Amino acid sequence: MAKTGIYITGLGQSIHNETVEKYTERLRNELSFTKTGINYFLKTEKIFYQPDKDSTVVSLFKKDKNGNEELVYKIYDFQYHKILTEKFEHYNIFIKNLILFSLIIKKTPHIILRIFSKNGFSRPYQTTYAFSILLVISLCVLFLIPACIDLMTNESIIKNISKLLYHFGYDIDIEKIQDVGKYVLSITTLILLFAPQSKTIITSLATEFSCVDNYIMNGGQSQIMLGNLDSLVEYIAENEPDPEIHFHCYSFGSILAMDLLFPVAQIPPSDNIQKLTKLLITTGNPFEFINAYYPSFYDNRYPIMKDTLKWMNIYSTSDVFATNFRKDDKHGEAEFSIKDIELLPENINYEITSAKKGVFAFFSLNSIRMHKCYWDQNTIGQSCIKVLLPKMRNKNFI
């Protein structure tokens, strides 16, 4: 039986310099660390599962001392980002933050209700913390406008502007705007000081959150993406000998895979998905964050895969977007699943820091940065594959 993975990465800040090649390289390194006398190596190719849709395929082989080669694992990547982000990426940072701010305001009632509601919601304060960070980030850029007004104007210019506006019938106190700008400039400088990569983080978060909203609210986009993913599964079923399919998902990629395996409207997955898919691996799964903003998104899911699917969930309690599927922010066994689906994930905790939340962590965007700390940018560094591989071996998934 050919063990075959499908790698689905995230959006925004989650995908910087991340590829299926690097993911498989980390897997190769962990295997090399635990086995002696065996050489592991990779082969990469590109296939087309539709006339206009391609996938990078990385095959992991092992070679013993006698030179005998054997295929250990194969991973296909699934590219969906262009469908979601093409339009949004053309906006400048100000427009992106306007969109982010409007989405946050639109979803504020859900967050407030979640704080006071105990109906199946596990970590309302954790979600509110993430919400507050997003709000501060969006306001940070928007508030630069009055700050710029303060920097670009002096007292005589302010008086002339006030007179000109009054002449056209607008009684606006420009001096008050100037005073506001001073405070805003101080706050903005504070955030930029603690978070030197704030522009990258702001742009990435705006992209991620806005595109997720578009995916959930725009049924056409989700149907295209899930249709493409279904086509990739069909390609594997036709071209791999007796494949066993595993989904390796990071961040928003987890939402895509869960959508495919547990479809809406009581429509079952395809026959090959049901027959061949045996493992779902989610890393930094933002399930709870999505559930907070879109509480009905996971209603009425088709649960047929719950009896044949193994689910492993890698999370960090320091990652504000990751879900531990517990009713607290501690590490331990999962206590709930996807709404009414009776499939508990096997929780796998991965921590790289014991730092606690605080004012400094808030302004340095530390909890957001942790969302991309499940592996080092360098493939030889430590990664969550170190805690995942033993679990896969114990269940004979590799």
List the strands of the sheet with 2-8, edge to edge. 39-50, 53-63, 69-77, 2-8, 243-250, 277-283, 310-315, 346-349
- Tell me what the mean pLDDT of segment 115-143 comes to: 60
- Residue percentage of the chain with pLDDT more than 90: 31
User: What is 329-389 written as a DSSP string?
Assistant: SS-SS----STT-----EEEE--S--PPP-HHHHHTTHHHHGGG-SB-SSTTS-BTHHHHH
Question: What is the bridge-based pairing of β-strands 69-77 and 346-349?
Answer: unpaired
Instruction: Name the domain count of the chain.
Output: 1
**Phi (first) and psi of residue 302, to 5 degrees:** -80, 120
383: left (phi over 0), alpha (psi -120 to 50) or beta: beta
Print the domain residue range for 44.
1-398
Residue type at 64 in one-letter notation: D
Q: What is the pLDDT of residue 55?
A: 95
Residues 221/83, Cβ–Cβ less than 8 Å: yes
Length of the chain: 398
Q: What is the DSSP letter of 269?
A: P
Q: What is the pLDDT of residue 5?
A: 95
Q: Which of 134-148, 182-196, 231-245 has the highest mean pLDDT?
A: 231-245
Please give the structure tokens belonging to residue 112.
Answer: 């407030």
> Which H or E run contains 276?
helix 271-276
- Tell me what the mean pLDDT of segment 52-66 comes to: 90
- Tell me what the mean pLDDT of segment 191-199 comes to: 56
